[in-house]
Amino acid sequence: QEETLLVFPTDFPIKIMGARRDDFAQAMVELVLRHAPDFRPETVEMRVSSGGNYLSLTCVVRATSKAQLDDLYRALTAHPYVKMAL
């Protein structure tokens, strides 16, 4: 078991940032659902950057393990639409 300060299960917010595209939010929701099947897409918070070129999504997932979060972060950061995931 890897060390973590989190106690699972826990609600865990993930911020995903990328270029503003019509399919960005849908692609990210689909990716998050692959790793957190109980994620509720209607809870996504979206913000457009001040210049209008970037979009940030905040997705709160019910994390059940560090491995689940690690896998989700790896998938997000590997996606070509994603500039950063926090």
pTM for the model: 0.93
What pLDDT, on a 0 to 100 scale, did the predictor assign at position 2?
61
Burial degree of 20 (CB within 10 A; 0-12, 13-18, 19+): middle
- pLDDT tens for residues 8-26? 999 999 999 999 999 999 9
> What pLDDT, in 10s, does the model give residues 29-65?
999 999 999 999 999 999 999 999 999 999 999 999 9
Residue 34 Cα to chain centre, angstroms: 11
